[in-house]
């Protein structure tokens, strides 16, 4: 559906959609010198190659990287650009590498939850059989320009699906259908230039602020637990951290070998417990009554919604903003 404004004479004008290119597989071509695929294509080149992409676009390219090389400084630059552009454009599309797309989407929504942002990328590079970047870009522009976009916040648009920033995960390393949600809820699908809503997006207690400086990547220790953990290595990984996120087993189980150490850490610095499982909350009180009493008494935060990487982002942003960590919870509109 077209969206238009009017100038001082009453003439209809169409505001552009901002397209921010950052690199990633969607922009990768073969480098003649090395033979490797590197992110070289710009947003203008990519958009020009997509059939049916007729919306007015304004292109920006703040940096060009493979997304495994992204830093908090990159994302801070990105959210500042989004905040600057949001009021004067009909939505914003961010082309991003898929390796860290789910974290990028969450970072954006934590900082600028009121902006209409659609992230897209590609699972296959240009020129290869099955290249999906063009259709994902076209679908993302469709989402960004739809009137309903202002109610969606930040979403990921891949393989014709619209997925929420807080819940989207890359569940396969190569499949075109790699992106899904931890809790199984798609917001919408996109086909033939039309957005089809499937569910009402949830509103959460987003931080809603851009920090004055990039979060310190060394501030938060992130530990994923396994069976038979090494106490020495666990203590080494959390030493001198300003905050800790632990991906626990099951519904938040912590092996006895390190439980007392975790309790001691929780009394000193903000400590968040998540689950390494693909879905579900921490703390199943009905099945295991009082199993988490000592953790709660130590001040450990039980995160029932976010996975470990997103909890790390939320804690790092909270520290950069000088705020305590609040569990991620739905907020009534």
Catalytic residue list: 25
Cβ 315 vs Cβ 245: under 8 Å: yes
Of 103, 113, 96, the closest CA to residue 62 belongs to 96
* Distance in angstroms between the alpha carbons of the first and the last residue of the chain: 26
Pairing of strands 168-170, 220-224: unpaired
Phi, psi of 310, deg, nearest 5 = -75, -35
> Are the CB atoms for 120 and 130 separated by under 8 Å?
no
b/e sequence 156-195, b meaning 16+ C-beta within 10 Å: bbbbbbbbbbbbbbbeeeeebebbbbbeeebbbbbeebeb
Q: Find the radius of gyration of the CA atoms of the chain.
A: 21
> Looking at residue 42, what DSSP letter applies?
-
> How deeply is 22 buried, as exposed, middle or buried, from its count of CB atoms within 10 A (0-12, 13-18, 19+)?
buried
C-alpha span between 196 and 185 (Å, rounded): 14
Under 8 Å between Cβ of 74 and 217: no
| Strand, coil or helix: 317 | helix
Rounded to an integer, what distance in angstroms lies between the CA atom of residue 243 and that of residue 220? Answer: 5
CA distances from 13 to 48, 234, 272 (A): 22, 59, 49
């Amino acid at each position: 559906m077209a969206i238009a404004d009017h100038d001082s004479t009453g003439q209809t004008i169409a505001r552009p959609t901002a397209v921010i290119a950052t690199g990633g597989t969607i922009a990768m071509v073969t480098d003649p010198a090395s033979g490797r695929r590197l992110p070289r294509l710009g947003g203008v080149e990519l958009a020009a190659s997509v059939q049916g992409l007729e919306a007015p676009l304004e292109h920006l390219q703040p940096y060009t990287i493979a997304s495994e090389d992204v830093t908090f400084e990159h994302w801070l630059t990105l959210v500042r650009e989004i905040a600057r552009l949001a009021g004067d454009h009909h939505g914003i599309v961010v082309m991003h590498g898929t390796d860290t797309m789910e974290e990028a989407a969450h970072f954006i929504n934590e900082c600028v939850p009121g902006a209409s942002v659609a992230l897209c990328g590609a699972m296959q590079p240009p020129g290869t059989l099955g290249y999906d970047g063009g259709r994902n870009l076209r679908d993302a522009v469709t989402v960004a320009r739809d009137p309903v976009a202002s109610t969606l916040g930040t979403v990921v648009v891949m393989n014709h699906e619209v997925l929420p920033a807080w819940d989207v995960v890359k569940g396969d390393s190569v499949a075109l259908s790699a992106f899904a949600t931890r809790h199984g809820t798609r917001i919408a699908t996109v086909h033939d230039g039309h957005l089809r809503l499937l569910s009402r997006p949830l509103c959460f207690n987003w931080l809603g602020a851009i920090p004055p400086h990039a979060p310190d990547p060394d501030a938060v220790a992130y530990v994923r637990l396994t069976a038979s953990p090494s106490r020495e290595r666990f203590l080494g990984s959390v030493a001198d951290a300003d905050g800790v996120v632990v991906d626990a087993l099951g519904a938040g189980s912590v092996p006895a070998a390190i439980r007392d150490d975790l309790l001691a850490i929780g009394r000193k610095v903000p400590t968040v417990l998540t689950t390494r499982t693909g879905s579900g909350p921490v703390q199943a009180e009905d099945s295991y009554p009082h199993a988490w009493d000592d953790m709660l008494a130590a001040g450990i935060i039980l995160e029932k919604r976010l996975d470990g990487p997103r909890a790390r982002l939320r804690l790092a942003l909270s520290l950069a903003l000088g705020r305590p960590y609040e569990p991620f919870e739905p907020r009534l509109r």
